[in-house]
Amino acid sequence: MDTTDQIAYARRILTEGGLVAFPTETVYGLGARADRSEAVAKIFQAKNRPTFDPLIAHFPSVASAQDWARFDDRAELLANAFWPGPLTLILPRVHRDGQPRIPDLATAGLDTVGVRVPSLPLALELLNGLDFPVAAPSANPFGYVSPTTAQHVRDSLGDRVGLILDGGPCSVGVESTIVDLSGPVARLLRPGGLAREALEQALGQKLEWEGFRAPVRVEAPGMMDSHYSPAVAVEVFDDVSRLSARATALDGNCTVLSAAPLPDVRSREAVVLGEGAAMAVALFATLRRLDRPGTGTILAVLPPPEGLGLAVRDRLFRAARSRVS
Ligand code: TXA
Ligand code: MG
């Protein structure tokens, strides 16, 4: 099948209530029509995801999203500035005939919904031909590292998805930045592929943020602390000399991840990820590739919390913290 046929097939599966994995610029998503609970339920089953963790609804345009979620001035400003792109807005749900248009199963019973317009042309083309939004979490088993290639999806969910659209490797590589605009204060819920600084500049104010979360804490729907964790142990360091000492203590039975080369550190393998956006693009694919016994312990240098470094730091903390408890 060529791409046009694949997209037509994907739209048919979605329309009939089935699952399709598709690429976005951030990570691959596992999609189902967002307006039907029976379809959305299949996502939770396939991922083994708890139903108190709500999903993001994907749209082809700002205008289409406005039929399903209520935008205030701040939301319009951010949507017009950054969509299509790696930004998710949490907004009040729109109701029609006394019913929410996005069902409770997709929002975990919250009266808000996460909405996003992805920028990858293949995703936009898929969404454009549909008269409903597509609910999609990252296409990984719950708690595992998000997929940034079609092969990653095949590796971990291949037997559970009707169709995997292949759009090549994702260009951003970490999930969208999530901003909660459902209340009076604009809050950053998840650092991601759009830099916090760019959002604050557009809004003309700081985003409230509770910072890197403590391990595994679930307070309310939407507050799930996902792990992004590989099976191998991950340890993170701000201080390179501490990392080096740890590598020595491990007799070099480790793999080191850093922005730039660290010549004096003993390790089985040293992976140089580059700075900022380059680090974000490579992070998940690297964690997946290294998730095998020969790796030893992964020792990672944390990037500074600026630009996309904030998201990379967050994902490394999460990958590491699940080992701590
Ligand atoms: O880049 C992305 O955002 C990818 C691609 C596929 O679009 N999707 C993604 O979805 O990362 P997921 O489900 O893996 O992460 C969505 C996060 C979850 O942590 C969820 O708790 C939060 O968004 N979320 C969704 N709806 C929410 C709501 N109404 N209130 C608060 N948090 C919400
Ligand atoms: Mg996810």
Low-confidence ranges of the chain (pLDDT < 70): 214-227, 321-325
Residue nearest to atom 31 of ligand 1 (CA): 222
Ligand 1 and 26: CB distance under 6 A: yes
Which of the four CATH numbers 1.10.10, 1.10.3470, 2.60.40, 3.40.50 does domain 234-320 have?
A: 3.40.50
Q: Among all ligands shown, which has an atom nearest to the Cα of 88?
A: 1
Confidence (pLDDT) at 1: 84
Residues 6 or more apart whose Cβ sits within 8 Å of residue 268: 252, 253, 254, 255, 294, 295, 296
DSSP one-letter string for 27-90: S-EEEEETT-HHHHHHHHHHHT--TTS--EEE-SSHHHHTTTB---HHHHHHHHHH-SSSEEEE
Confidence (pLDDT) at 177: 98
Half-sphere exposure of 144 (CA within 13 A, CB side): 18
CB distance 167 to 150 below 8 Å: yes
Ligand 2 mean position, distance from CA 286 (Å): 17
CATH (residue range 3-203):
3.90.870.10
For the chain, the structural domain boundaries read 3-203, 234-320
pLDDT digits (tens, 9 = 90+) for 52-104: 999 999 999 999 999 999 999 999 999 999 999 999 999 999 999 999 999 99
The neighbourhood of ligand 2, an ion, using CB within 5 A, equals 138
